[in-house]
Amino acid sequence: MAVSIIDGRLEEVVLRRRRKLASIYDRLTFRLADGGTKTWAKAIVSNDVADHLKPGQSGRFYLYTAIDHRGVHGVRTADGADVYGFGKQNEIIALVITAVTTITNILSVTVLGHIQILASILMVLGLPMYFAYRHTRVQAERQYQADAGFRPPAA
Amino acid sequence: MAEARAWTFTDASAAAGWARRLLWADAALSAVAAALALRRGLDPWRASQAELMLGIGQLIVYLAGAVIALRWLYLANANARALGATDLMGSPGLAVGWFFIPLANLVMPYATVRDMWRASANPKDWQAASAPATIILWWICWLAAGITGLIAFRLQIEFAKEAGEAMETFYLASNLIAIPAALLFAAIIGRIQAMQDHSRLIQTLS
């Protein structure tokens, strides 16, 4: 499932590192309404959203999974925060790989008369990767917008 | 949080049993092939008819084991979802498909099996569960056996028996590494199946 929602309280926040655009967490542990826990491991979160991920924070958390990457793309908290952010880095990387390998192959066929096997494999992998990341981002935006009227109850 | 598709639990114990038996057979045949190669001093000119038949037997067992193990992988991945593991990567079909996608098949089958282990150990909060080092060890052996086997095969195709001892050495290495790879995978299948059967039993009783 590419996107999902958690209603609950953040119990544990283990930050691995914070970069210019995004923060990477070893794990985020949520306490759910039914008393159970849900862990979101190796999560990539844009810094706008990451600023609201603090232990004890209650609200609705919007999650995504894209291939082997996962993260939190939105949060609506009981104290009124309403923040969305989705990093496009992987999408751009996949697009660049596709473009570079396509150009490499065109040049190779033109100059050398044959295609490059590695470039062809990367080209074939890069395009579906780009669409997978893009599809998840579009789904995440739609999910967040569709839930625009939601306000979590005070904790 | 609800999963978009409702998954139903399918008994995968028969597929697990056959996959493990075939992996044990594969390990045994690899051991015999390695022993015979060592006995004749890695000289390809002295390979007997029996060794040729053994090679064909190895190929048949390997292919049968691969088919059954991939069938089990599909079922076990779907069963992990049926037991309540949400947000697993891709789909059961993709769990199998990763083995056939160039470059991705160097990493993604490992990630899939690792996540299946965690999802079987604790379906409701699988990302909190850890996976044992056995899985990475299996995958390293699996890749090493495949790569050495591929090098040996290319030497055989390109240079035939002129590659001589080098080709035989790579075949020997491939056979020796294939033994722990097959045994570890059989153990992983058995453990994941047992964890899923246990979770299923608890769910049924409650």
Q: What is the pLDDT of residue B17?
A: 98
Residue A10 lies in a domain: yes
C-alpha distance from B3 to closest chain A C-alpha (Å): 7
Q: Three-class SS of residue A20?
A: coil
**CB contacts, 8 Å: B127 with chain A:** 27, 38-41
- The pLDDT tens digits of the residues spanning A60-77 come to 999 999 888 899 999 999
B6 touches chain A (CB under 8 A): no
Q: What is the pLDDT of residue A143?
A: 95
Listing DSSP states for chain B in one string gives: ---SS-------HHHHHHHHHHHHHHHHHHHHHHHHHHHTTT-GGG--HHHHHHHHHHHHHHHHHHHHHHHHHHHHHHHHHHTT--S-SS-HHHHHHGGGSTTGGGTHHHHHHHHHHHHHH-GGGGGGS---HHHHHHHHHHHHHHHHHHHHHHHHHHHGGGGHHHHHHHHHHHHHHHHHHHHHHHHHHHHHHHHHHHHHHHHHH-
Q: Point out the residue among B90, B111, B127 whose CB comes nearest to the CB of A40.
A: B127
Residue A11 lies in a domain: yes
* Range of weakest confidence among A25-34, B60-69, B162-171, B190-199: B162-171
Residue A17 lies in a domain: yes
- The pLDDT tens digits of the residues spanning A79-138 come to 888 999 998 888 999 999 999 999 999 999 999 999 899 999 999 899 999 999 999 999
Count of domains forming chain A: 1
Residue ranges per structural domain of chain B:
13-205
The residue of chain B nearest to residue A68, with distances taken between CA atoms, is B89
Residue A144 lies in a domain: no
Listing DSSP states for A95-127 in one string gives: HHHHHHHHHHHHHIIIIISS--HHHHHHHHHHH
Quick one: how far is CA B128 from the chain centroid? 25
Of the residues A61, A62, A67, the best mutation for testing chain B's interface (the one with the most B CB atoms within 10 Å of its CB) is A67
Q: What is the pTM of this model?
A: 0.87
Instruction: Give me the domain span that covers residue A69.
Output: 3-87
Q: What is the pLDDT of residue A88?
A: 87
* CATH number, residue A28: 2.40.50
Which of B29-33, B50-54, B88-92 is most confident?
Answer: B29-33
- The pLDDT tens digits of the residues spanning A11-36 come to 999 999 999 989 999 999 999 988 89
* Listed residue (A82, A75, A109, A118) closest to B103, CA to CA: A118
- The pLDDT tens digits of the residues spanning B49-68 come to 888 899 899 999 999 999 99
C-alpha distance from B108 to closest chain A C-alpha (Å): 9
Written as six digits, the tokens of A113 are 């008369």
Q: What is the pLDDT of residue B3?
A: 45
